[in-house]
């Protein structure tokens, strides 16, 4: 199975899960589906449009990691962070089912710059629901729910919810180049 087929399959699975969680799907008997609930999405280690972290919890940490697309940003669990072409500077345009498939990186406090990240580029911006989303160089940051383990980049160049998604460099720019075939990095 090639990368694009895997990505399309993963995206379809995430969209079905988000739809079921929102109560939009029906099973064969005409009732609502129950798989893929918000609780299940949160329990697998990724945020799913969860409330902002309480003020006494540690702040979100953003670090750099070398991978297929060079050095890009990851969260404190090593999960790849993405930017959305539909967003504008410090403004997210990903809500509802989009935010379930692409959970925003939220933080009630100031985010922490980890290894390889420029603290001066790391901030938060208010979402439409009042929650604070971590931004890097003005780009709101997201995870992709189909990424299963640290270093996965299944969301790279996926066209979903009206625009494309990309990993982001430590310079604060989206990475649009093709992988080098080398998992040690390099653009």
pLDDT of 13 > 60? The answer is no
Give the Å distances, CA to CA, from 87 to 95, 131, 164, 166: 11, 16, 10, 12
Q: What is the pTM of this model?
A: 0.70
* 8 Å CB contact between 38 and 23: no
In degrees and rounded to multiples of 5, residue 86 shows phi and psi of -80, -20
pLDDT of 84 > 80? The answer is yes
- The pLDDT tens digits of the residues spanning 120-148 come to 999 999 999 999 999 999 999 999 999 99
* Chain CA centroid to CA 10, Å: 14
Q: Where are the alpha helices (DSSP H) in 92-180?
A: 97-101
């Amino acid at each position: 199975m090639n990368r694009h087929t895997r990505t399309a399959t993963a995206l379809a699975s995430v969209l079905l899960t988000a739809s079921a969680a929102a109560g939009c799907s029906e099973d064969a008997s005409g009732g609502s589906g129950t798989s893929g609930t918000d609780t299940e999405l949160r329990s697998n280690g990724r945020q799913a449009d969860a409330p902002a972290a309480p003020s006494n919890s540690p702040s979100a940490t953003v670090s750099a990691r070398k991978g297929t697309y060079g050095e890009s940003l990851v969260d404190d669990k090593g999960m790849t962070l993405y930017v959305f072409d539909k967003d504008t500077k410090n403004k997210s345009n990903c809500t509802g089912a989009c935010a379930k498939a692409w959970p925003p990186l939220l933080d009630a406090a100031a985010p922490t710059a980890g290894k390889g990240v420029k603290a001066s580029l790391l901030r938060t911006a208010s979402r439409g629901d009042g929650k604070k989303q971590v931004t890097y160089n003005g780009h709101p940051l997201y995870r992709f729910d189909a990424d299963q383990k640290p270093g996965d980049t299944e969301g790279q160049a996926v066209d979903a919810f009206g625009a494309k998604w990309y990993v982001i460099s430590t310079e604060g720019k989206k990475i649009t180049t093709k992988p080098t075939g080398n998992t040690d990095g390099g653009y």
